[in-house]
Amino acid sequence: MKRLLCAVLPLLLLLVGCQKGPTRYSRTTVDTFDTVVQLIAYDVDEQSFAQKADSLEAAWQEYDRLYDIYNEYEGLNNLCTVNRQAGIAPVKVDARILDLLAFGKEVYTLSGGKVNIAAGAVLKLWHDARTAGLASPATAVLPDSAALKEAAKHTDIEDMILDREAGTVYLKDAAMSLDVGAIAKGYATEQICRQAETLWESAAVSAGGNVRTIGVRGDGSPWQIAVENPDQTAEQPTVATVQLEGESLVTSGDYQRYYTVGGVPYHHIIDPVTLAPAAYVHETSVLCDDSGLADALSTALFLMPVEDGKKLVDSLDGVEALWVTMDHQITMTDGFESRLVGNGETR
């Protein structure tokens, strides 16, 4: 799951009436994309901030409804509608859905098939087992292996037909479904922040494990974002603190969104090869300009050995990464290390 990162932001020390320049304001919204979204921005006054924040919150809610795979809404064709019409008929959708799904195809190619938004049939079996297991831990079970193998036969992304001219999506395979959990939140964060860039010179959005910054902080210093330690028993709660200036940092990990069967935890990031929770690393973090790409890549890196992940990162311009391995060792690219607070010391 993409984990909630904490922005290490300065406290407001001076009275508003004595300050010069913009003031720091913040707003927290609960349950957008099934997470807590925090907006921080420097603005001339509270009314100006509130009006702008209202517009962004409305946009967030639109993306949330459009990309929802579990619920339909009156008068709206969303991804839940698309899944329910699989094998029946093309569905006319908002251009923002077509844009997300086109991005999903690009990510599939970039990740060598590791991140597959057409794998909903497999992911639903794990989702349902996890939901039941959390509701009744004593009776928690793993998904049936035969059912997983059968579901995996219905995950061909080429069966997702996008028709830009008609504005439709069609799933040719009646047994397939879309699950955009690996890309939707980061993609929406990026689109929202591009809108926010027209409103503020200095702002930051934290949506679960997705952080996107605009400019620098109000005092001119970089934003400081802490990466959580996946070892929840460790004395140090973070593994690194990174400086950002208009960039995004996204983290994926195995340490929060999980359930337990027979004393063994099973997290939600599923390996398309084994059809089970991936076991290459405990955590990955990606730093780049685009929150959508960072979101997709953090999942992709989580689904492959570290060395393969490093090759992927090295092939991309402007992308840096950090890994916490299964033995809790920290490794990172040189570019990531150069952005750490404290002269490159990890925390």
Identify the bridge partners of residue 171 per DSSP, sorted by sequence position: 160
Its pTM stands at 0.90
| Tokens describing residue 250 | 């996204």
Instruction: Delimit the domains of the chain by residue range.
Output: 6-46+200-337
Contact yes or no for 168/174 (Cβ under 8 A): no
User: Dmax over Cα atoms in the chain, in whole Å?
Assistant: 67
CA 219 to chain centre: 28
Q: What is the DSSP letter of 74?
A: T
CA dihedral 25, 30, 32, 38 (to 10 degrees): 30
CA–CA distance, 127 with 142 (Å, rounded to integer):
10
Q: What is the DSSP letter of 3?
A: P
Q: DSSP 3-state assignment of 20? A: coil
CA–CA distance, 251 with 253 (Å, rounded to integer):
7
CA–CA distance, 251 with 211 (Å, rounded to integer):
9
Contact yes or no for 38/26 (Cβ under 8 A): yes
The alpha helices in the chain, defined as continuous H runs, are 46-66, 79-84, 95-110, 120-135, 145-152, 184-196, 291-302, 306-314, 334-337
Q: Classify domain 6-46+200-337 at the CATH topology level.
A: T-fold (3.10.520)
Q: What is the pLDDT of residue 176?
A: 98
DSSP string, 212-236: EEES--TTSPPEEEEEEPS-TTSSS
Closest CA to 320 of 257, 227, 230: 227
Rg of the chain in Å (alpha carbons): 20
Please give the chain's pLDDT, 347 residues, in tens: 444 344 333 322 222 333 457 899 999 987 778 888 999 999 999 999 999 999 999 999 999 999 999 999 999 999 999 999 999 999 999 999 999 999 999 999 999 999 999 999 999 999 999 999 999 999 999 999 999 999 999 999 999 999 999 999 999 999 999 999 999 999 999 999 999 999 999 999 999 889 999 999 999 999 999 999 998 888 889 999 999 999 999 999 998 789 999 999 999 999 999 999 999 999 999 999 999 999 999 999 999 999 999 999 999 999 999 999 999 999 999 999 999 997 433 33
Q: Which amino acid is at 142?
A: L
Q: DSSP 3-state assignment of 34? A: coil
Closest CA to 283 of 330, 345, 223: 330
